[in-house]
Amino acid sequence: MFDTVCTLPLSADLFSQALHPKESVVSVGLATGHVQTFRLPTDEAASDDDETSASSSRNGRRHIDTMWRTRRHKGSCRCLTFGIDGETLYSAGTDGLVKAAKAETGVVENKIAIPTAKDGSVDAPTIIHALSPQTLLLATDSSALHLYDLRTPFSKVSAKPQQSHHPHDDYVSSLTPLPASETSTSGFSKQWVTTGGTTLAVTDLRRGVLVRSEDQEEELISSVYIGGLATTGTSRGEKVLVGGSGGVLTLWEKGAWDDQDERIYVQPGSGGGESLETMAVVPDELGKGKVVAVGLGNGGVKFVRIGANKVCSEVMHDETEGVVGLGFDVEGRMVTGGGQVVKVWHEAVIGADKYGAMPGEKRMYGDSDDSDDDDSDDDSDDSDAGGQQERAQNKRKKTKAKGNGGQHVMAFHDLD
């Protein structure tokens, strides 16, 4: 089973989580509008004494450093994403602003005003994603999907999207880029899958919305792409996995977007099942086959082996709060977030319980000083204008952060 390397308490409810593409860094966006960035302990830095390193991490003696913290938005911080190179952290909040900040320091370099709703009110964001160094995608409550060209010089708060689409009738709940084609010269994705309401859609950077699926008669919440599967018959070995509100994971063959072709019952139940809030592919470097981690609304994380199409393992992030963020950092460690806590996981210690914890053991890390001394945003505001109240109203409108796998991955023996 997985074991928690550390448990990091937060000062407010987590609304969004993002993992750096090149470093052991995690950023969180909170209901209060705060954004905080942490540097996780690296195993590479402690490799001089492997035995001591393993012991110290398992017993909670390694450090998490707070790189910076600020009240970034006047309202909640709904979405976070790193740029492709990791140099920029984009955040979007219910104040109607997207802010681009230096990932290392948190200093804001640019702002974008989100287009308002038809009635002139703030159209709060639901997803933000850096598709390439040139393209930023932003989805909102009104079902709009805006495309911004990052090469265009922005004025202070007036940049307008280059394109806007409405792939769904409801807000976009997840966004998953599809791999670049073999003929691509840039190597960056130009198509992506979104879910919204009860449908799935595919949008192209140049041609707009290409296709929308049939009504699935279930709310679709999360999605992830997985390739390298067995090719049989008409199957190309590439699928998009979609998590629903009823605990069912559906598999969609790439290129056949009208309807799902397989179903996996991850967390069904007589009362309608548990929602599959967020997903991430377990890195191939683990050598455990094709496995997807699924964060649940009940606080659990289940691991589904694709091919066998069954749950092969599970851990518990939190007993009461659902999983909002889920991903793998560059060292292959799983990072989960939800409620007021972020957890980092790797290989379990022999003798741990079924959730990866040793008897009587609780490891708490974090900055006990909840001040804003490192605030780098010039429009900081200490008031919490309804951020906590919004949590109940917008539970499903929090960004589903997805991490990236990387090198130096540790084995999780429960997936053997």
Give me the CATH number covering residue 356: 2.130.10.10
- Cβ proximity of 92 and 139 under 8 Å: no
Alpha-carbon distances of 158 from 68, 102, 103, 127, 130, rounded to whole Å: 27, 20, 23, 20, 19
Tell me how far apart the alpha carbons of residues 82 and 19 are, in angstroms, rounded to a whole number. 7
Tell me 320's DSSP state: S
Burial 284-313 (b: 16+ CB within 10 A, else e): eebebebbbbbbbbbbbbbbbbbeeeebeb
Model's pTM, two decimal places? 0.83
> What length is written for the chain?
416
Place of tokens 């989580």: 17
Structural domain span for residue 396: 2-366+392-415
> What pLDDT is recorded for position 158?
59
Q: Please check whether residue 403 lies inside any domain of the structure.
A: yes
Q: Please check whether residue 382 lies inside any domain of the structure.
A: no
Q: Please check whether residue 373 lies inside any domain of the structure.
A: no
Helix/strand/coil (H/E/C) assignment for every residue in 216-276: CCCCEEEEEEECCCCCCCCCCCCEEEEEECCCEEEEEECCCCCCCCEEEECCCCCCCCCCE
Which regions of 61-122 does DSSP assign to beta strands (E)? Answer: 65-71, 77-82, 88-93, 97-102, 108-113
> What pLDDT is recorded for position 154?
63
Tell me how far apart the alpha carbons of residues 286 and 361 are, in angstroms, rounded to a whole number. 27
Tell me how far apart the alpha carbons of residues 247 and 267 are, in angstroms, rounded to a whole number. 4
Which class for 229: exposed (0-12), middle (13-18), buried (19 or more C-beta within 10 A)? middle
> What pLDDT is recorded for position 397?
53
Nearest Cα residue to 345 out of 309, 312, 303, 308: 303
Residues in contact with 119: Cβ distance below 8 Å, sequence separation at least 6, in sequence order: none
| Cα angle 364-367-372, degrees, rounded to a multiple of 5 | 150
Rg, Å, the chain Cα set: 20
Q: Please check whether residue 350 lies inside any domain of the structure.
A: yes
Count of the separate structural domains present in the chain? 1
* 416 residues of the chain, pLDDT tens digit each: 467 778 999 999 999 999 999 999 999 999 999 999 999 987 655 454 444 444 443 444 467 899 999 999 999 999 999 999 999 999 999 999 999 999 999 999 999 999 999 999 999 999 999 999 999 999 999 999 999 998 876 655 557 899 999 999 999 999 999 998 877 778 899 999 999 999 999 999 999 999 999 999 999 999 999 998 888 777 788 999 999 999 999 999 999 998 898 999 998 876 678 999 999 999 988 777 899 999 999 999 999 999 999 999 999 999 999 999 999 999 989 999 999 999 999 865 555 554 444 343 333 333 333 444 444 565 444 444 444 445 544 555 543 333 333 333 344 445 55
Q: Please check whether residue 386 lies inside any domain of the structure.
A: no
Nearest Cα residue to 176 out of 241, 91, 125, 93: 241
> What pLDDT is recorded for position 390?
58
Q: Please check whether residue 328 lies inside any domain of the structure.
A: yes
Q: Please check whether residue 346 lies inside any domain of the structure.
A: yes
Tell me how far apart the alpha carbons of residues 238 and 215 are, in angstroms, rounded to a whole number. 22
> What pLDDT is recorded for position 156?
56
> What pLDDT is recorded for position 335?
97
Q: Please check whether residue 374 lies inside any domain of the structure.
A: no
